[in-house]
Structure 1
Amino acid sequence: MNTTEFTVTVLGFNQALASAITGALDVFAFAGISWQRIHNLPTTPRFKVQLASHLGQQFLCSNQITLQPNIAIEDVSHTDILLIPTIGGDIDDVLEETLPLRVHIQRLQKMGADIAANCTGTFLLAQTGLLADKAATTHWGYADKFKAMFPNVNLQSEKMVTEDNAVYCAGGGMAWIDLSILLIERYCGHQIASDTAKSHVLDVSRTSQTIYASSRQRRFHSDKDIMAVQSFLEKNLEKKCTLSDLAKQHNMTERTLIRRFKNACDITPGQYLQSLRIEHARKLLETSSMPLENLVSTVGYEDLSSFTRLFKKATGLSPSQYRIKFKRN
């Protein structure tokens, strides 16, 4: 049996999300231990974990808990994994305050460390330049801000986790779970990762964060005419509406409508309408027992099978699977 102990360093800073720090440290620290204890087997720790900060100073997390690091990031000469947690405070303020950390992220990457960032921590990673021309993800609610700040990054915000040349990113705030289990599998194999997930009762089947996203994120623009189009579609999502009718109603040509809509929302009017319908269907699946046949017509579709294909493509789950997972009792 390979009993090599790998080192995981979590990088702390003021206004970091405490759960993304302590939770990840716990999961890595218990790899090779928790499952074994449950089954009365010999324990073999697989990771040495440590918390680092600028000059080894205490830092105040976004929930007002103060954490004491084990080491100064300046003194970390080797780590197999460097994990950057979620930014829980104002992103711009945190990026300015953490400027001294960037050189050490770059230094450890050059020394062979896997670099991983969770949720909005990907903003700090991107500012080092290590995500340039690489695939990345971030919290779906901050995707537009990320794209505006880092246009040279291949942002894939629908994904829960991305990996590109040993640089890892995870999506929403609790996606450190998916990221940690993925990295445990990378270093220790599938069985250890699976055992760790099961012992902590972690759901690691999530591959997409689109099931959590909202079409409201497409409202963050300044084109008032396109906002009017969006409002019309939101109020009439169950009705048939051709692109020609939509353009005439808002005093535009079809070509102008498509161009301005894509500039403002990064998708076409048809794609936006589909996202509205899928989101409305999600709400109905969560809050009602409406039969699927009735639900489909309520959100503007006629054929159950084609709706099911669209819904699964958008969320990663069939409508019935989504209802089972998210139905509110």
Structure 2
Amino acid sequence: MKHITILVPDGQTSLSSVACIVGSYEMFTRANGYWSQTEAGKKNGTKELYKIELAGVSKKAEFDNGLLTVTTHVHISNISKTNLIIIPSLVRDYETAVKGNKLLIEWIEQQYKAGAEIASMCTGTFMLASAGLLDGKNCSTHWSAADTFRTLFPNVNLLADQLITDEHGIYTNGGAYSFLNLLLYLVEKYYDRQTAIFCSKIFQIEMDRQSQSAFTIFTGQKSHGDEMVKEAQAYIENNLQEKISVEQLSSIFSVGRRNFDRRFIKATGNTPVEYSQRVKIESAKKAFETSRKTINEVMYEVGYNDVKAFREVFRKITGMSPLEYRNRYNKEAVV
């Protein structure tokens, strides 16, 4: 029988880790039961397509200072081969979390080399990256952890807006409870579309979600040490209504255009134009959420005078139009 292994980290976890573990176990168990009753399952002649196990380095793992305890089925040393490994989210102190799970990280690396596929949920991506398995590859993680991830793992191509990545047998997903969308994606891959639709209906999860852009709160990368760039960021943030060019910014800070661009991208992960767009759109989002201002009023407030251009940038960053965003997050505006 094929195997799906759900990892239970020993410490360095949170209640979100428990949600990932329990959610994975429940959905794959339901998928097993449903698939066995389909024509494909009956033809296969087995009761279950996969053996689903919780595995770790200890028999029991405590979460949230002992509030919850998860008992594992098996120690990782007793699993010689598995088909899919699920990594749950980790605590916010990512470097500590990685140091505290060295045995799991080494085992993951060995299993991947032996042919296993790996799926990480939310900040579980840090465990994958620390094993070196994401170097040169694309991945996603919770949008709030994106800046820290880029700093720690510069050789990984982080696609923070994407909900799911699928590359070379490694799957990653965005933040928090979006792990449920990754599970549906995996159910379709490991069982079939029919089983994924069944799970979607049973657990009431939207199928085929691809972006976490609408949920992102842009705060700007400020943890770098380039004071000139920090001043430029502050200037952009304090002058929303202005249409600021890169030439204007580089002139204000007495730095050549190319050098200014290079330093800004290195420090923030965005070009100056991208940064300005994100700051403006974040301000527009807040206005749509908290006021009854029209699309045009908000557009002018954040420095746009072309409706088409504003809509295009807004959709590029959030994945939806200004009107769709306002209708979703502001009940009073809809009324």
Aligned pair partner of 1:311 in 310, 314, 333? 314
Map 1:1-329 to 2 at 5 A: 7-13=3-9, 14-16=11-13, 17-31=17-31, 47-54=50-57, 56-62=58-64, 64-327=67-330
CA deviations over 1:82-105 (Å, ceiling 9, x no partner):
101101252111211211112321
CA deviations over 1:202-259 (Å, ceiling 9, x no partner):
1344322232223324222112222121112111112232333333333334334323
Q: CA deviation at 1:146?
A: 2.2
Q: CA deviation at 1:311?
A: 1.2
* 1:253–1:113 distance in 2 versus 1, CA, 3 Å: closer
**Given residue 138 of structure 1, which amino acid in structure 2 is its aligned partner?**
T
Structure 2 CA distance for aligned equivalents of residues 245 and 73 of structure 1: 58
Structure 1 CA distance for aligned equivalents of residues 235 and 155 of structure 2: 34
Structure 2 CA distance for aligned equivalents of residues 328 and 95 of structure 1: 42
Structure 2 CA distance for aligned equivalents of residues 105 and 193 of structure 1: 26
Structure 1 CA distance for aligned equivalents of residues 33 and 294 of structure 2: 46
Q: What RMSD over aligned residues (CA atoms) do the two structures have, in Å?
A: 2.5
Q: CA deviation at 1:141?
A: 2.3
* 1:245–1:104 distance in 2 versus 1, CA, 3 Å: closer
Q: CA deviation at 1:19?
A: 1.0
State the TM-score, normalizing by the size of structure 2: 0.86
CA contact (8 A) 2:240 2:301 kept: no
CA deviations over 1:86-136 (Å, ceiling 9, x no partner):
012521112112111123212322343221111211111122222232221
> Can you give the 5+ residue segments of structure 2 that lack an aligned partner in the other structure?
none
Q: CA deviation at 1:45?
A: 5.9
* 1:154–1:239 distance in 2 versus 1, CA, 3 Å: closer
Structure 2 CA distance for aligned equivalents of residues 82 and 35 of structure 1: 20
* 1:328–1:223 distance in 2 versus 1, CA, 3 Å: farther
**Given residue 106 of structure 1, which amino acid in structure 2 is its aligned partner?**
E
**Given residue 7 of structure 2, which amino acid in structure 1 is its aligned partner?**
L
CA contact (8 A) 1:115 1:166 kept: yes
- Equivalent pairs counted in the alignment come to 319
**Given residue 4 of structure 2, which amino acid in structure 1 is its aligned partner?**
V
CA contact (8 A) 1:120 1:139 kept: yes
Q: CA deviation at 1:35?
A: 11
**Given residue 113 of structure 1, which amino acid in structure 2 is its aligned partner?**
A
Structure 1 CA distance for aligned equivalents of residues 166 and 319 of structure 2: 19
Give aligned-pair identity as a percent.
Answer: 31
CA contact (8 A) 1:301 1:307 kept: yes
**Given residue 60 of structure 2, which amino acid in structure 1 is its aligned partner?**
Q
CA contact (8 A) 1:30 1:45 kept: no
**Given residue 314 of structure 1, which amino acid in structure 2 is its aligned partner?**
I
> Can you give the 5+ residue segments of structure 1 that lack an aligned partner in the other structure?
none
SS state at 1:168 partner: strand
